[in-house]
Amino acid sequence: MKLLVGLGNPGAKYAQNRHNIGFMAIDQIAADHGFGPWRSKFQGLISEGRFGSTKVLLLKPETFMNKSGQSVGEAMRFHKLEPEDVIVFHDELDLAPGKVRLKVGGGHAGHNGLRSIHGHIGPEYERVRLGIGHPGHKDAVPGYVLRDFPKADAEWLDDVLRGIRDGAAELVAGNGDKFMNAVSLRMAPPRSSKSTPKSNKPKTDPAPEPDDDTRSPLQKLVDRFR
């Protein structure tokens, strides 16, 4: 069994915040892979489904970001899971908007949701780091992450979420490279093969006149315009 956790804050007020991109990713997986209805459990909302033979539990903690670990820890204990069974989707200030990276273990880099999870289950879980960019100064971070994504970000955000949806089965199966490839294909799809490529073949000069041509220059000119 795998536990996929999206980090965010509950309620309509926060639904479109940058800080809630983890919730958005989990919602996309649930909606597009036919997971069951959301229900309250483990101090959060859960939805169950499968990828092949692997049972998957989706979790959105409703403890607010700073206490996410309470919900994650409770779900893990109930299902007797280990940290390596957990994959957490979260916003990442240190990545440019639209960038996605995988990471296992390591520090929490000041992210309050990860800090809480570290405190409850340790650091050895997998993370899907979803870049939202940095406002430029640490004092501006709280206001930045708790503001909605602007309309200008809608296109790349949709591509990222669909890419995560496309690669979710590979992620659950432990195929990180294939998951990242699915995301990359959404972010930078291959160019269409329908358009005719320009030929690199150099242009050739007209064939020279035969050496045995006995016509006068005037006759050649007349013949060219016939």
The catalytic residues are 19
Contact present, 76 and 88 (Cβ < 8 Å): no
Closest residue by Cα to residue 174 from 80, 24, 52, 60: 52
Closest residue by Cα to residue 85 from 160, 171, 180, 181: 171
Task: Give the separation between CA 117 and CA 112, rounded to whole angstroms.
Answer: 9
- Taken in order 28, 34, 37, 43, the sign of the CA dihedral is negative
Number of other CB atoms surrounding residue 172 within 10 Å: 20
